Amino acid sequence: MAVKGKSVLYLAAAIFLSLPVVSCRTTDHNTHTYRPYHERRNRGGNDDNTTTVTTEKKKPIAQEAHGLVSDEWARLDIKLGRKDNKKLYKELKRWLGTPYAYAEHTCGEGTDCSGMVMEVYQEVYGIKLHRNSAKMLEVNCSIIDLDDLREGDLVFFVTSSDGHVSHVGIYLKDNKFVHASSSRGVTVDDLRQNYYATHFHSAARVTTRPN
């Protein structure tokens, strides 16, 4: 059936009038290239890749603790406060990850437990301790109650079958201490862990005066 002339004109006019509406929608938000909604859901103008990064779960990064960046300690669940000895934490951070080596005491290369403690105490406190963990306890320290432990105190363990003190670490806070593990090198552990709770001998405070 033939379409009358008037009908054709009305149809052409309707098509023409609809074009500005489409144009408005594409320029209203200064969007020059159409993207599906799932690619435009970030109203801030970031693309899909940025959205993925910003929504990814990340462990909070620690703030600076008065000059010492404490991100390493934060990852170990240790929050540094205003009263903490920053020099001690800074020195211990240097030692973290040093592999275990019997009778050695070189940061970054190899150390045993008493060697690390000896070097750290010399550097941080200017105190020279005995090289042997049992001698440290006997000569350089006074035993204290476990509840009285504070930052920088020493914790001793019996790890050999003879029943004598054979391991030492430096107490930090919140039950955490740094020591040179024979299997993992210089690391941070918790006194409440089964192995250390079972082999714990005593807590002690260094009484030897600085050099």
Burial of 30 (0-12, 13-18, 19+ CB in 10 A): exposed
Say what the pLDDT of residue 78 is: 76
Q: Which residues have C-beta within 8 Å of that of residue 100, sequence separation ≥ 6?
A: 110, 111, 112, 180, 181, 182, 183, 184, 185, 186
pLDDT for 15 beyond 90: no
Say what the pLDDT of residue 92 is: 94
Assign 167 to helix, strand or coil: strand
- Interhelix angle 86-95/113-125, nearest 10 degrees: 140
| Domain locations along the chain | 5-55, 64-206
pLDDT in tens, 92-107: 999 999 999 999 999 9
Higher pLDDT, 187 or 53: 187
**Which range has the worst mean pLDDT, 23-27, 123-127, 163-167?**
23-27
Q: Which residues are catalytic?
A: 113, 167, 179
Longest dimension (CA), the chain: 115
pLDDT for 177 beyond 50: yes
Domain 64-206: CATH superfamily is: endopeptidase domain like (from Nostoc punctiforme) (3.90.1720.10)
